[in-house]
Amino acid sequence: MDNRPIGVFDSGLGGLTAVKELMRILPNERILYFGDTGRVPYGTRSRDTILRYSKQDMRFLLKHNVKAVLAACGTVSSTAKAEGDRLPVPYIDVLRPTARAAVNQTKNKKIGIIGTSATIASGSYRREILMIDPEIEVYEQACPLFVSLVENGFVTPQDEVTRLVAERYLAAIREKGVDTLILGCTHFPIISATIRSVMGRHVQLIDAGREAALGCLEVLKAADLLCDAEQESEHQYFVSDDTQSFYHVAELFLGQSVRGKVERIDIENY
């Protein structure tokens, strides 16, 4: 048993898709979230920069005495696994749980993966999938503009701009006949209605944030780190930019208003 909070981080607010699921499956746990809103996006940056940012984010969470670190970011998961595995607390990322869910889901053994440029260039999801089942055909597409569209609130199926971008990005993968599509960036589930309408209803979408939360539950259970009662204090949210805009966009991700404190920190100090 361990009553310390679970540390969750992302380059911005996409990781809140994992938080939403954590709140559902582990309602007694306290969550300490860091969104690097001052430096988002990570996915278009160099490997060295993503590594530096990720290490600072992990240090920030450890300083706040978390019992586990969940990298709720496809880009960080694809770049900083070695750093995460060296942490003194359990480290969970989005890759393995998401790949496993996709492999379990596909019937025709054709899986599409969409993510940031860094995630797709790393080949990380592809490797995880082929490790589980080498016969699967994998088709990948980087969709960097989705991140900005989501962070700026162009998220409904009525948002023409998002639909046009989705058509352009997804056409090739759709033509390959995949029956399962990994939303490999935790920002993407917010526009799943648009993605679904472009891909067709028969294609199953796998939400990396949700799967990472389920992976986290598994790890905490196995390590006997779940809390033993409802926690008195609330969740805590930290960002590296304006807290005001956080409230509005965070609601979209959480599907509910933000309860708990939101503070701005200087991540360069970590």
Catalytic site positions: 73, 185
| Sequence-separated (6 or more) residues with CB below 8 Å from residue 52 | none
| Interface mask toward ligand DGL for 97-126; x: CB under 6 A | -------------------x--x-------
| Interface mask toward ligand DGL for 65-94; x: CB under 6 A | --------xxx-------------------
Among 5, 7, 14, 35, binds ligand DGL (CB under 6 A): 14
Q: Minimum distance from CB of 63 to ligand DGL (Å)?
A: 22
- Structure tokens given for 196: 């679904």
Q: Which of residues 157-176 bind ligand DGL (CB under 6 A)?
A: none
What are the helix (H) ranges across the chain? 16-25, 47-63, 74-79, 81-85, 95-105, 117-122, 124-132, 144-151, 160-175, 192-199, 208-222, 243-254
Residue 128 main-chain phi, psi, to 5 deg: -60, -45
- Structure tokens given for 152: 């700026």
**Cβ proximity to ligand DGL, 60 vs 227, nearer residue:** 60
User: Which residue has tokens 């909070």?
Assistant: 5
**Cβ proximity to ligand DGL, 58 vs 147, nearer residue:** 147
Binding site for ligand DGL (CB under 6 A): 10-12, 14, 40-43, 73-75, 116, 119, 147, 185-187
